[in-house]
Amino acid sequence: MRIGERIWLAAETVAKERESGNDWALNSANTLAVREFLSCRDGGVIDSAALHPDAVGACELDAFIGLSMRGGLLGHIWNSGWDPDAVAAVERTLGRVGAVEHQAVFREVVARIDADPEERDLLLEWEVLPGALDRDLRGLWSSELEGDLFDVLDLIEAFLAGHPDLAIVPEAELAELRAEAGALPTRPHRVTRRYVAVVQAACAAAGLELSGIQERDPQFPFEGEPRRSVSFLAEDGRRYRAVVLGDRTALVDDEGMEVLRFATP
C-alpha cells in the first residue's frame, strides 16, 4: 500500500510549523502524520508495520525524547509502558539518525531492565524502582545524555530532510492516503498489563463492574507478609483490593474482609 512507500508529510503542517519558529518542523509534521495514519481506522488502530519504518521510528524517538525531557528516563518508561515495539524502534532510529552514543547507552539500559525478570516486573507492572536497578540506570543514563536530547532532535530533523523517501504533499493528498489506510485491519491487541488482568479477573469472579483502577501497592500487608496488590473502584461505589498470593489472588472489600479467591491470571 502507498502509505508504506514514503514518509508522508502535509505541506500545510510543515509550513505552519516553520512559520511558528519550530526548528524541528519536519519532525513535528511527521509525528502528527504517523499518529493520524495509525488512528485513521474507526474502532481501532492500524498496524504501524504498514507505514514507512523510518517514519514510525522518528515518531517513536520523538515521543521518547518528549517523555524523557518531562520526566527523565523513568518518565518515559512509566508513561510509555516500555512497549517492546516502541523500544526497538527507538533503539534502531537512534542509530539511523546518527545518535550512536545515545544508541549504545540505550541498548545497555534495555539489557539492564531485561536482565532481572523480578526487577522488571516491579518496574513495569508496579512502578517500583528497586535500589540496584535505580543505581544502575542512573549510572547509565546520565544527565549529560539527557541534556543532549535537543541535539538528537536536530539529528532527526536532518535525517528527515535528507531522506530519499520523504514526500511533502498537500493535506488533501494525505487525506486520500488516510482513507486508503482506513481499509486496513486493526492491529492485534497488545498484551494486557498484568495488574490490569488481575483486576479484570477479580471483577469477573465477583460479578463486579469496574469503575476505575486506583493504585498499585507491591508491599501490601496480608496474612503477615508483604504482597503485591492493586485497588480499584467498582460500579457499586465500593473500593476493592486484589491481593496476589502466587497462583491464587484474594479479593478484599473496603472493610478488609476477604470476598473470594480466584486463579491469578
Higher confidence at residue 70 or residue 96? 96
The percent of residues in the chain predicted with pLDDT above 90, rounded, is 72
- Does 17 have pLDDT greater than 90? yes
pLDDT of residue 191: 64
pLDDT of residue 20: 97
Q: pLDDT category, 130, cuts 50, 70, 90?
A: confident
- Does 41 have pLDDT greater than 90? no
pLDDT of residue 248: 97
Please, are residues 36 and 178 in contact by the beta-carbon 8 Å criterion? yes
CB atoms under 10 Å from CB of 244, counted, come to: 20
pLDDT, tens digit (0-9, with 9 covering 90-100), for 18-32: 999 999 999 999 999
- Does 70 have pLDDT greater than 70? yes
Q: Give the 3-state secondary structure of the chain.
A: CHHHCCEEEEHHHHHHHHHCCCCCHHHHHHHHHHHHHHCCCCCCCECHHHCCHHHHHHHHHHHHHHHHHHHHHHHHHHHHCCCHHHHHHHHHHHHHHCCHHHHHHHHHHHHHHHHCHHHHHHHHHHCCCCHHHHHHHHHHCCHHHHHCHHHHHHHHHHHHHCCCCEEEECHHHHHHHHHHHCCCCECCCCCCCHHHHHHHHHHHHHCCCEEEEEEEEEEEEECCEEEEEEEEEECCCCEEEEEECCCEEEEECCCCCEEEEEECC
Global pTM?
Answer: 0.81
Q: pLDDT category, 81, cuts 50, 70, 90?
A: confident
pLDDT, tens digit (0-9, with 9 covering 90-100), for 218-256: 889 999 999 999 999 999 999 999 999 999 999 999 999
CA–CA distances in Å: residue 143 to residues 61, 72, 147: 18, 9, 6
Please, are residues 228 and 239 in contact by the beta-carbon 8 Å criterion? no
Mean pLDDT confidence for 75-82 = 80
pLDDT of residue 190: 64
The percent of residues in the chain predicted with pLDDT above 70, rounded, is 97
Highest mean pLDDT among 37-51, 122-136, 189-203, 236-250: 236-250
